[in-house]
Amino acid sequence: MTQMSTFAAPDVALPDGRLYVAGEWERGTGAEITSVFPADGSINRVLKGASRADGERAIARAKAAQADPAWRGLKPHERARHLYAIADGIEANADRIAAIQTRDTGKTLRETGALAASAAATFRYFGAVLETSDEDLTTRRGDALTLSVHEPLGLVAAITPWNSPIASDAQKVAPALAAGNAVLLKPASWSPLVSLELARIVDEAGLPKGLFSVLPGAGREIGNLLVEHPDIAKVSFTGGTETGRRIARQAAEKLMPVSLELGGKSPTIVCADADLDLALAGVLFGIFSSTGQSCIAGSRLFVERPVYDAFVSRLVAATKALKVGHPHDPATQVAPLVHLDHRAEVADHVARALAEGAKLLCGGGAPEGELYENGSYYLPTILARVTNADRICRDEVFGPVLVVMPFEDEDDLIALANDNDYGLACGIYSRDFPKSWRLGRAINAGTIWVNTYKQFSISAPFGGEKDSGMGREKGRQGIRAYMAQKSFYVDVSGTPLPWAAAQVMT
């Protein structure tokens, strides 16, 4: 592992810390938030987050803007133009967005550049979906034309985590705006800046004022207000399972729809017949890219017994060779974790696993050297001699920590893979496609990757089962999650309704 390398830090002005309150730039009046650069612990910005009063002001303005015929009355192709303009703005500012997100989260510039590109694609895709989604003429079963139309819900709250803010923001904001709603976005307190940059782009793209807000602030204050407020018609949440459960309980009280994208402990499976080079590259990327801070991280590895020893020894060697480095260094593969507090949590998981009998194959601590001194770096870590019932195999670590276990046969494997509270994703490496298909159908997960991992397309619906959440984002139907369906019966007989007629069309 090399320690120092030369690289240039991008020279960008960070957002000045004002909030975007329904189209107006205002200083927050809530609790202070500090954005830190995880590579060296330097402070990016200290800002005042949104208070309840700020949130209530944003909601009132958003309500008026959403009801305005200037927005509500737009035809789909007219509204789509706003989404295309935002996509253009993101593309034009991609380097800035990448640099700001790297400052906020510590992710490599290569990764944040890809996330910016994906955010632009998301706005473009939902503009196109909006323009090309037909309303439904439903089959006639009586003397009425029956059709089904889709209307905006009203005000949508989007609550996002810190790990991939621009991408998770876009995944919610784009379909919700396309559907004709106003959106109030609450980013995570560790990563407020890139969402404020998105607000600048949306503002410059000419979205009518009031329709979009970015309200960084404490989850328990501003997040909670958005969930409970009677004018908020839907919450789209990505984050931890316990927060999601709490939001679902509050939503039940209001009878409000929610979509919840939550945590994971995803199994990756290497069968004895797999192309082992391909599997090795996929397993490494699946767990250690984004420094493991990914809901879909392939964090539980099952290797078929005949190839277990050989595969694990190659995996450990390849893991030790990964370049742990500064996020501005183009050669870096594993960047720092988001925050020192988060590193402490990751370290606790590993320490507990070791105390419970796990065997450390590599990693297990912070790297040493001048470069790493003030950053929140953690070495890619592999633990063996664990059972699927151990806490380290059940809890989401959300860091670069992989557990490895052998499996004997398909039945054994399916039982192990499914014996977990989560059900977000799964990777299968095998040359036998019918076997991959059988396994993929039997394993509880919202996404199955075969001979690849962590590849994403905006056109493929995404979401989890069990404790990984409910609802699906992305895909053509993603826009419908932000709409209310309304059915029309339009009489075509022109005759008065006889009193005795059956009220049910058979």
The catalytic residue positions are 172, 261, 295, 473
Least Å from the CB of residue 338 to ligand NDP: 9
What are the residues facing 43 on neighbouring strands?
A: 36
Min dist. Cβ of residue 97 to ligand NDP (A):
18
Nearer to ligand NDP, 127 or 223 (CB): 223
Count CB atoms within 10 A of the CB of residue 279: 27
Compute the least distance from the CB of residue 251 to ligand NDP, in Å: 11
Greatest extent of the chain over all pairs of C-alpha atoms, in Å: 87
- Pick the closer one to ligand NDP by CB: 270 or 426: 426
Alpha helices in 133-222 (DSSP H): 165-178, 193-204
Three-state DSSP state, 157: strand
Task: Give the residue with the Cβ less far from ligand NDP, 187 or 267.
Answer: 187
- In 3-state terms the chain splits into helix, strand, coil percentages (rounded to 5) of 40, 20, 40
For residue 396, with 0-12 CB atoms within 10 Å meaning exposed, 13-18 middle and 19 or more buried, which class applies?
buried
CB of 243 or CB of 430, closer to ligand NDP? 243
| Closest approach of ligand NDP to the CB of residue 186, in Å | 6
Give the residue with the Cβ less far from ligand NDP, 223 or 327.
223
How far does Cα 363 stand from its chain's mean position? 27
CA distance 472 to 47: 33
- Give the Cα separation of 254 and 419 in Å (integer): 33
The two tokens of residue 352 are: 């507990």
Q: Are 44 and 193 in contact (CB under 8 A)?
A: yes
The residue among 157 and 382 lying less far from ligand NDP, judged by its C-beta, is 157
Element housing 44 (H / E) = strand 43-48
- 170 touches 118 (CB < 8 A): yes
Residue nearer to ligand NDP on the CB measure, 89 or 187? 187
Contact footprint for ligand NDP (CB under 6 A): 159-163, 186-189, 218-220, 223-224, 227, 238-240, 243, 246-247, 261-264, 295, 396, 398, 424, 464, 469
- C-alpha–C-alpha distance, residues 123 and 128, integer Å: 9
Residue 122 carries which side chain, given as an amino acid letter?
T
Shortest Cβ 364–ligand NDP spacing (Å)? 22
**Shortest distance, position 357 Cβ to ligand NDP, whole Å:** 26
- Show the tokens assigned to 375: 């950053």
Contact assessment for residue 157 and residue 226, using Cβ atoms and an 8 Å cutoff: yes
Shortest distance (Å) from residue 208 CB to ligand NDP: 26
Q: How far is CA 4 from CA 1, 11, 108, 340, 364, in A?
A: 10, 20, 15, 21, 21
Rg (CA), the chain: 24
